[in-house]
């Protein structure tokens, strides 16, 4: 992402956080954003609650819950730019749904001049709605105690991440996740943990979607290989420190390094092999960040990191790392009481690993064995354990230990928490 765009988003987040601490309402924040930056009312309200176009479109679709009324980013952008640069005029139905997403009244999403350009039936409905709330056309008096971030507090952790598994979408997701961490803590709590199919669907997509490897990015100068080596060394150091001290204490450092790697992916020039390495490094850092959030009991943000990490591992073509990430998601599902999801994630990891390392295969099967055993499925658990034992016995002596965390190896008593990450 260009630096000026990133700086603008940081500025918006700081403004939103400052006004929130002052007790300002979402309407007041939107009015201030419109005054400062000249956004349309619809765009100002979206920024007032901190949603990207992708996240706002997904929130709209969740609110509607109707495939025939599906909203994509292009149409939402058109509504925001109407009537200046587009003829995509929103209907009163669209405004009502957007008002639910943004936590305001539909009449506040259009100016008086814009109302005159609506269909006459929409103008009538909007006028009737305004009559039911006489304050709809005014800005609430200051100070106001309504918290604008209380409205989207139930947004799922995968908001903005449910997109096609392509290289370009992977980069967009990496930017979205790493930039999220520039937000103040109050804004991070807008995410809610995933359950059911929302947890397992990304794993199935990782399993069946052909990999789109990172492409060459030719430019005037190429990223030195030494830089990538240094990043890998830093990542290994952070992994070791996490094993010794625990991830929660390293979260800020991990996030900063992940953001640096994502910036290189988006802006540097490199051949395909370097691109794969950068995506693997980003995936491993986001895996560590997810584990840090898990240890801090921020399960929704942990899921968000791991979903982005799975995308990066998929783009890198790193099946072992992808299986490792699913292992962490499986362990989290177990801790959250989602037994079926835990087993599904562990089994998907086992099916998706296409390498020939007996050590990695043994570890993946051991995890699947543990998750299955914890759901009281003894026969499949014994089968997985036996296969793991066979793989360990057939491993070539002297083969280096795979770069996979020992965190999810079960304790000897068959329960308890992992020992590291």
The stretch 110-138 carries a mean pLDDT of 81
* H/E segment holding residue 242: helix 225-245
Report pLDDT for 87: 78
Q: What is the dihedral of CA 388, 393, 396, 397, to 10 degrees?
A: 120
Residues 6+ apart with CB under 8 A from 315: 167, 170, 211, 212, 213, 214, 276, 279
Higher confidence at residue 330 or residue 65?
330
**Cα angle 18-20-21, degrees, rounded to a multiple of 5:** 65
Report pLDDT for 381: 43
Report pLDDT for 354: 75
| Residues facing 270 on adjacent strands | 217
Q: What are phi and psi of 139, to 5 degrees?
A: -90, 130
d(CA 286, CA 310): 9
The stretch 15-36 carries a mean pLDDT of 90
Report pLDDT for 215: 67
d(CA 287, CA 280): 10
CA distances (Å), origin 310, targets 136, 165, 214: 44, 10, 14
Higher confidence at residue 39 or residue 250?
39
226-230, 238-242, 295-299, 391-395: least confident range: 391-395
Specify whether the CB–CB gap between 375 and 331 falls below 8 A: no
Report pLDDT for 90: 93
Q: Is 144 left (phi over 0), alpha (psi -120 to 50) or beta?
A: beta
Residue 402 reports pLDDT greater than 50: no
Specify whether the CB–CB gap between 83 and 115 falls below 8 A: no
Mean pLDDT of the chain: 79
pLDDT single digits (tens) 260-284 = 999 999 888 999 999 999 999 999 9
pLDDT single digits (tens) 43-89 = 999 999 988 888 899 889 888 877 778 899 999 999 999 998 767 89
Report the 10 Å Cβ neighbour count for 85.
11
* H/E segment holding residue 389: helix 378-394
d(CA 49, CA 109): 14
CA distances (Å), origin 386, targets 94, 364, 383, 397: 57, 13, 5, 20
What are the residue ranges spanned by the domains of the chain? 3-151, 158-342
Residue 232 reports pLDDT greater than 50: yes
Report pLDDT for 387: 43
37-46, 124-133, 334-343, 391-400: least confident range: 391-400
Residues 6+ apart with CB under 8 A from 150: 103
């Amino acid at each position: 992402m260009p630096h000026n765009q990133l700086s603008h988003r940081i500025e918006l987040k700081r403004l939103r956080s400052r006004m929130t601490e002052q007790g300002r309402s979402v309407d007041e924040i939107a009015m201030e954003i419109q005054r400062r930056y000249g956004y349309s009312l619809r765009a100002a309200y979206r920024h007032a609650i901190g949603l990207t176009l992708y996240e706002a479109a997904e929130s709209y679709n969740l609110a509607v819950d109707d495939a025939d009324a599906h909203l994509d980013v292009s149409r939402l952008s058109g509504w925001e730019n109407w009537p200046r640069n587009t003829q995509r005029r929103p209907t009163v139905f669209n405004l009502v749904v957007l008002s639910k997403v943004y936590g305001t009244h539909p009449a506040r999403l259009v100016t008086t001049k814009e109302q005159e350009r609506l269909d006459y039936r929409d103008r009538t409905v909007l006028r009737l709605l305004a009559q039911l709330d006489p304050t709809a056309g005014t800005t609430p008096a200051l100070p106001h105690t309504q918290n604008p971030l209380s409205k989207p507090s139930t947004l799922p952790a995968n908001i903005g991440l449910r997109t096609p598994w392509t290289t370009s979408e992977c980069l967009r997701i990496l930017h979205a996740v790493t930039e999220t961490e520039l937000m103040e803590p109050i804004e991070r709590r807008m995410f809610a943990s995933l359950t059911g199919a929302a947890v397992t669907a990304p794993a199935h997509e990782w399993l069946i979607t052909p990999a789109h490897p990172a492409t060459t990015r030719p430019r005037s100068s190429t990223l030195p290989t030494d830089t990538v080596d240094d990043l890998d060394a830093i990542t290994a150091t952070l992994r070791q420190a996490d094993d010794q001290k625990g991830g929660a204490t390293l979260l800020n450092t991990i996030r900063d390094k992940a953001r640096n790697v994502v910036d290189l992916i988006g802006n540097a020039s490199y051949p395909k092999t370097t691109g794969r390495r950068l995506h693997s490094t980003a995936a491993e850092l986001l895996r560590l960040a997810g584990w840090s959030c898990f240890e801090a009991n921020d399960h929704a943000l942990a899921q968000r990191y791991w979903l982005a990490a799975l995308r990066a591992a998929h783009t890198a073509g790193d099946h072992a790392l992808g299986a490792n990430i699913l292992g962490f998601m499986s362990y989290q599902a177990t801790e959250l009481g989602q037994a079926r999801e835990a087993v599904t994630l562990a089994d998907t990891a086992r099916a998706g690993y296409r390498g020939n390392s007996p050590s990695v295969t043994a570890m993946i099967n051991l995890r699947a064995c543990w998750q299955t055993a914890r759901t009281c499925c003894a026969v499949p658990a014994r089968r997985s354990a036996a296969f793991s034992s066979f793989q360990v016995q057939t491993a070539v002596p002297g083969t280096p230990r795979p770069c996979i965390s020992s965190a999810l190896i079960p304790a000897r008593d068959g329960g308890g928490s992992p020992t590291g990450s």
